[in-house]
Structure 1
């Protein structure tokens, strides 16, 4: 199994970044580097991440002065030294065998770009229902109009460079735009895996409101193209602490 460069974008995630670093330190597949790209957090996010240097020897923490989801992912990809890329959000949770299983599937299916379904283990029934509907949508659209969850996307440096990375003008659905563009040249599929996803987004916005937001966004994308003027007034890092 080949090496992986893991790019983690952060913004004021001091309460969650440690959990992800802990999960990464327990991976059965050990050949990877971790690049934390921080959007100039106002809390101790960078300090918490840096504390894991002993358990994650190939860990670097990069501070950006300008904030941005796509900018952070693109910055991390530029710093990456391995061909295989994995983009993660700071509030993701991973099982110890996640990397090993993912790489095995990527190699078996010969995929350069792939998405991962959201897991709802130990979450309330309403969250399981919401995640289930969202995953169903991800499964169906992968064949005709690919979408993805930016919190966990696999790619490669070759693909990323040819796509010119994530579109930094898009605020909402930049992840969907990325895999849609990639699918025009490379086969895109979802892996038979899940990742843990912090429920704070559903807790704050509500299952139906959040689902309606993304449904509206993707319907709009389908008929009118990508949203480069923040038409739906979506803000990076707007979620409050739960």
Structure 2
């Protein structure tokens, strides 16, 4: 019988996330994880009330660290890992919401003896039927792609300290798709890949609202194809339509 993970470091990069980080921390507070949790929020000098929202939750967690560093998702995640005290790492985006008992269900599906990258499917928090339909198309398309080209979305991404060290962490010189690059380097370096369909996480629909459902769908398809043709560095030449993290 596989032993369940008992210690987990959760790393959350933030930048202007006052409208979202509280919902994530609230959902983490409601978890009844059967083990020890360390929560590391790595803030990229937010200019809104992100830090104040986080401070309101400090008393709810026995081990919550808030770091303030220069912005950059890859850099922030790497800094978080440098302060992680547990072997197992879970990266979460700040606009994620976890279902009650998500962590226990999630880690039960993980073999703690494997060097791995494991992602959870995310579903948007939107009531709009059109947005949900487009999201379903993106998830279905992503699952098909994963059969021959594994995708590792960073919204909810699990790995180990060992794997992070062996691949040299996230690239800090690309403005997007650093999670895709991280997963590919991990898998090419010998890590196992898993995509967990359930339990899934809830993701805010802010990108859908910002750029529109079809435009977002097309952006992801175009970006994926360009990366396949020209390599990951092409992302720095793309017009990135999302603004800063919290927008």
TM (normalized to structure 1)? 0.92
Instruction: Classify 1:108/1:5 alpha carbon distance in 2 versus 1 (closer, same or farther; 3 Å).
Output: closer
Q: Deviations over 1:101-126 (max 9, x none)?
A: 11000128956211111124663211
Instruction: Classify 1:111/1:190 alpha carbon distance in 2 versus 1 (closer, same or farther; 3 Å).
Output: farther
Alignment of 1:141-160 (within 5 A): 141-160=145-164
Task: Measure the CA separation in 2 of the matches of 1:191 and 1:155.
Answer: 13
Task: Measure the CA separation in 2 of the matches of 1:167 and 1:213.
Answer: 21
Which residue does the alignment assign to 2:220? 214
Instruction: Classify 1:119/1:236 alpha carbon distance in 2 versus 1 (closer, same or farther; 3 Å).
Output: closer
Contact kept? 1:106, 1:112, Cα under 8 Å: no
Runs of 5+ in structure 1 lacking a partner? none
Equivalent residues, number: 240
Contact kept? 2:43, 2:68, Cα under 8 Å: yes
Which residue does the alignment assign to 2:123? 119
Contact kept? 1:116, 1:190, Cα under 8 Å: yes
**1:106 to 2:119 alignment:** no
Task: Measure the CA separation in 2 of the matches of 1:110 and 1:192.
Answer: 19
Runs of 5+ in structure 2 lacking a partner? none
Which residue does the alignment assign to 2:99? 95
Q: Which has the higher contact order (CA 8 A, sep 6+)?
A: 2
Contact kept? 2:91, 2:156, Cα under 8 Å: yes
TM (normalized to structure 2)? 0.90
Contact kept? 2:97, 2:201, Cα under 8 Å: yes
Contact kept? 2:223, 2:235, Cα under 8 Å: no
